[in-house]
Amino acid sequence: MYTVDAALAGQWDLAWDAAQHLVLPVLVLTCLTVAILVRFVRSSMLEVLQQDYIKAAYAKGLPTGLVLRRHLLRAGLVPVITVSGLAFASLLSGTVLVENIFGWPGLGQYAYRSASALDLPAILGASLFVALVYTLVNLTVDLLYGLIDPRIRIQ
């Protein structure tokens, strides 16, 4: 929140400095997750490419871009969105280690210190916040299903 606070206060040099210090923690948290997601997207798209309706769309003479946008992406992104929601869980759990290594105060460090000191109200508050975030991510994933695949929409 240093970057946001500094930007709201108009201290652009402090905001830039805080953003530069975020580069390594962001890379540590995202490299493995992005690699897994890219691999999953590739395998999902290759699986959908082998379906009969994709072959039929090409056989009808539809342009490649149209087939990719309308048929391939819609069918291939449903499992990718599911894995993305699950990957968010690993990002949230990985913040405890990253915050301790890089010395950034955050929810993970707060929860760790609260658990070490047996501060039950703080542990419950952190757990409630994490549960709320997981619930919102799962709700967002479920709503995205309906946007991507019309067959999943609630009637």
pLDDT (tens digit per residue) in 99-136: 888 888 888 888 888 999 999 999 999 889 888 988 99
> Tokens 């309906």 identify what position?
146
Distance CA 63, CA 43 (A): 23
* DSSP, res 60: T
pLDDT (tens digit per residue) in 27-59: 988 888 899 899 999 998 899 888 898 889 899
Side chain identity, residue 30: T
Written as six digits, the tokens of 123 are 């542990």
Quote the pTM value: 0.72
**In this predicted structure, what is the pLDDT of residue 94?**
77
The residue ranking higher by pLDDT, 93 or 48, is 48
The residue-averaged pLDDT of 12-32 equals 87
**In this predicted structure, what is the pLDDT of residue 143?**
87
Side chain identity, residue 49: L
pLDDT (tens digit per residue) in 58-89: 999 989 888 888 888 888 888 888 888 888 87
The residue-averaged pLDDT of 7-23 equals 86
CB 93 within 8 A of CB 32: no
Q: At residue 138, does pLDDT exceed 80?
A: yes
